[in-house]
Amino acid sequence: MDEQAQAILQRILRRLSSKKIQTTLRAWGCLSPEQLEDLDYTQPKWLLLENLISKCEESRLRLKDVTKLEMVYHIENPNQGKWHAFKLTEPEDEAVSVDFTQFKEMFVAHLEEVVQHVSVRMKKQEDGAVWIRMAWGDNFTRPNHLKPTYAVHYLQTPYVFVLNLSAKHKPFLYQALVLSSRYTSINEAHLSCRSLTAMRDLLMKQYQQVFPNQERTLRERNAPPSNPNIEKEHAESAWRTHQMACEAFGDGAVPKLETAVYKLETRYRGSSNNTLSDRDELFRGVVKFSSSNLLESLRHCVSTGMAEAPVTPLLSSITQKGRNYFVITEKAPGATSQTPAR
């Protein structure tokens, strides 16, 4: 077993909790039940690693077998690292009928055609997700399995989620994805997060949504001024505010996004400082919201009155557009003041 294989084994053991090591190795399927039973999972990890390497050499396992274990780890722990979302656009007629076998054959063929040394492993899950592991090399070096790229694509959907992709390899992956999925192009979705599950749920609307009630909206518009001292109207007002918060961010468990970034490109307004107001250059800044569960935090702020309702489009666009990165620019005549990042 070479150094790369041993380094990958060491990295996986270091990341796994002691309780999950045995179940992960069992899911790997490359060691016999007797070999797994013979390992002492209560040992220090450095000693367990030595015994595991010995078992792998006993079974004549190689680097490609160890990369399978790494893939099992990432599939079982999808909320590791910084994932970025991409969206395929302009599907061809054949896009709806591409199956896993076709996708795999075309993807590998296209990638190997443009990259001389590349290692690709692919696996389809029961939920329809196709997991792709790519180790990149070049014309003179073999693939570096210590720095792989992971991509997750849901067939018959335009969404792709990518982990650890360098700018150098981005065009190669783009081309392989577009050609093998029968689309015309691919664009960044301006959505990134440490939770692959949250990104999938947000873009595919796999969370409990609350839709505006047309009858309630008309009743609110025609309602006479309320008396804030009446307990009943306080309760109704609180319910309406909570309803609007749920319409904007969802109800129940919501996708666990951690950040939302707004990049400002605007001009200084005011007469108190001519130095700033006379500048031709745009005034730039960045506003970043952070939380362990941003959507839940924003929903709570609106529901409790800490933030105004109805929710500003700048915040509700996170769920409506499935993004957490926005650019706010100068409002031009006939155009919106909020434009997508490029």
| Among 166-180, 211-225, 300-314, the least confident range | 211-225
Extract the tokens encoding 337: 């003041």
Residue, of 176 and 244, whose pLDDT is higher: 176
pLDDT of residue 218: 42
Domain edges within the chain: 3-76, 83-203, 234-339
**Model confidence pLDDT, tens digit, residues 18-37:** 889 999 999 999 999 999 99
164 — phi, psi (to 5°)? 60, 55
Residue, of 228 and 132, whose pLDDT is higher: 132
Averaged pLDDT for residues 321-328: 92
Q: How far apart are CA 43 and CA 95, in angstroms?
A: 50
234-339 CATH, one of 3.30.540.10, 3.10.20.720, 1.10.10.60, 3.40.50.300 = 3.10.20.720
What is this structure's pTM? 0.82
* Residue 192, SS3 per DSSP: strand
pLDDT of residue 221: 47
Enter the DSSP assignment of 282.
P
> Shortest CA distance to 302 belongs to which of 231, 254, 232?
254
pLDDT of residue 340: 42
Sign of CA dihedral 121, 132, 146, 22: negative
Strands 325-329 and 283-290: what pairing?
unpaired
Averaged pLDDT for residues 211-227: 53
- Indicate if the pLDDT at residue 103 is higher than 70: yes
- Residue 262 β-bridge partners: 287, 326
pLDDT of residue 225: 54
Cα 2 to chain center, whole Å?
33
* Residue 184, SS3 per DSSP: strand
Strands 83-91 and 129-136: what pairing?
unpaired
Q: How far apart are CA 251 and CA 245, in angstroms?
A: 9
**Model confidence pLDDT, tens digit, residues 45-55:** 999 999 999 99
- Indicate if the pLDDT at residue 83 is higher than 90: yes
Q: CA 127 → CA 41, 130, 131, 209, 271, distances in Å?
A: 31, 9, 11, 21, 58
pLDDT of residue 342: 36
- Indicate if the pLDDT at residue 70 is higher than 90: yes
Averaged pLDDT for residues 312-322: 91
**Model confidence pLDDT, tens digit, residues 263-283:** 988 876 666 656 666 666 777
